[in-house]
Structure 1
């Protein structure tokens, strides 16, 4: 496991993401008594139940850190070590920031809290994921499923959070639980939009320089290419069609290298719902 200049950029982004997340928790989630998804929601529920039952106020960050670190002990050998270390850094910093920062309440309107709190929450988590980290907890589960199923699974987390919301509704009222659903939905959609690693695109390329384009793609990503000899219907000139399947995280690099190899290449892009068969997905470090 080696560290590069890119890792320094990741660490800075992770720290900023953790700060944004803590701001969202303290300024929106806590003020609206909402329940985020995953371990954050469970932590909020535990904190509120302890305070109501015995009057003891435990910081959200303490419970959140303990729960996440416990999961790390079980998934250490299942996911890349650098990814896990970055995730530990993220949820440790977000836990610390949520304890030490003092932020004002932005609004008392529950709908605004749910929508904008969800946007901030999703942005922070999405930023962490783009920096090779996660918020831990159920994110580890979603990432593991994405690798196995070869498609994004973030929307499935809404189902995993249903039990927490049911308990929250029974304990603290269904209005908070319902607003929390809005919060979680907005957050999940933002994460799903920002995190492109497990979204797959098929690139169709029509070119007269197939060998040059293939060499450029092979030097950029580790994916196979299907070559089909085709003919233009208008001028009846021969061309080569190349079929390449890549994830959206790699897509800009692939398009750029094709353009450099053949600036006149014609490309179309199609979203892939699911892959059956051999497809290489670079593992998390």
Structure 2
């Protein structure tokens, strides 16, 4: 068992570092291939770092590059993540941000300029994919990702929605400082970025599972042992076709747990009727999986 546990931890470590590296490549490509050449500002801390670089280029005798400011602006948010989310989570987030900062510096910007709309779309798509994969692997990309996770736990709103709302500040900054055409392209990129994050990072989406079964005890024991989820039991249900006695089980799971619960049901009662629907909102106790 100790050997299996060690192997599992090693696999988890490799997957997190790989996700951090993938994100660093994605954000560097989005920034240097699309956002910078297209005059578009990214979401979150990356966008603020771009604004700092542009302001120092215009009004100061020195330049604070986006790659450096991206890491510096994340430092206070690492403290927030350390105390509010978890130490292990924050450590991997620091690795992702450090790698991202390095890749922003190492990958040179393109000299070819694309249509700004294409820059907005592809920049948001690539960065959103990198961010979503990082979050799904249990790490963040720093900045508003950390703030978004904390706010999501408090409010229950989707991560992408919070990301878009906060980044309206970036849009306003782009419009006031650099022209409203830049604000439009920035808004498009931020919207695409948020939608892609939501499509990939589905850990926060909750699903209601309704199970009509004649093997309720086996299914209940398996769910509680493997998934640690609460279950509501409705006894004395009757099937209209065969008039056989059934039990109805209702539970709420995260979307990424759907595969596990399907396997449990198939193993214990392959003839069970199952309905799975997306839950808009839950009140009461729901065990949130810890990212630490």
Bin for the TM-score computed over the shorter chain: over 0.9
Work out whether residues 151 and 273 of structure 1, in 8 Å CA contact, stay in contact via their aligned partners in 2. no
Shift of 1:59: 2.3
Work out whether residues 67 and 105 of structure 2, in 8 Å CA contact, stay in contact via their aligned partners in 1. yes
Separation in 2, partners of 1:279, 1:12: 30
Work out whether residues 28 and 105 of structure 1, in 8 Å CA contact, stay in contact via their aligned partners in 2. no
Give the aligned partner of residue 207 of structure 2. Answer: 201
Give the aligned partner of residue 247 of structure 2. Answer: 240
1:223 aligns with 2:232: no
What CA deviation, in whole Å up to 9, does each residue of 1:207-253 have, x standing for no partner? Answer: 11111111221122111111112111222211111101011122221
Separation in 2, partners of 1:169, 1:7: 42
Shift of 1:103: 5.0
Separation in 2, partners of 1:151, 1:68: 23
Shift of 1:107: 4.9
Work out whether residues 49 and 65 of structure 2, in 8 Å CA contact, stay in contact via their aligned partners in 1. no
Give the aligned partner of residue 63 of structure 2. Answer: 57
What CA deviation, in whole Å up to 9, does each residue of 1:51-86 have, x standing for no partner? Answer: 011253332110000000222123311111111111
Give the aligned partner of residue 28 of structure 1. Answer: 34
Q: Which runs of 5+ in 2 are unaligned?
A: 1-5
Work out whether residues 151 and 274 of structure 1, in 8 Å CA contact, stay in contact via their aligned partners in 2. no
1:158 aligns with 2:164: yes
Alignment of 1:92-171 (within 5 A): 92-102=98-108, 104=110, 107-171=113-177
Separation in 2, partners of 1:125, 1:215: 36
Q: Which runs of 5+ in 1 are unaligned?
A: none
Separation in 2, partners of 1:260, 1:56: 65
Separation in 1, partners of 2:124, 2:215: 47
Give the aligned partner of residue 184 of structure 2. Answer: 178
Give the aligned partner of residue 14 of structure 2. Answer: 8
Moved more, 11-20 or 114-123: 11-20
- Aligned residue pairs total 284
Give me the TM-score of the superposition, normalised by structure 2: 0.92
Shift of 1:261: 1.7
Moved more, 256-265 or 78-87: 256-265
| Closer, same or farther: CA 107–209 of 1 in aligned 2, 3 Å | farther
Separation in 2, partners of 1:73, 1:207: 48
Query: Any idea what SS the aligned residue of 2:40 has?
Result: coil
Give me the TM-score of the superposition, normalised by structure 1: 0.94
Moved more, 154-163 or 224-233: 154-163
What CA deviation, in whole Å up to 9, does each residue of 1:259-285 have, x standing for no partner? Answer: 122222211111111111111112221
Shift of 1:105: 5.1
Separation in 2, partners of 1:222, 1:150: 20
Give the aligned partner of residue 74 of structure 1. Answer: 80
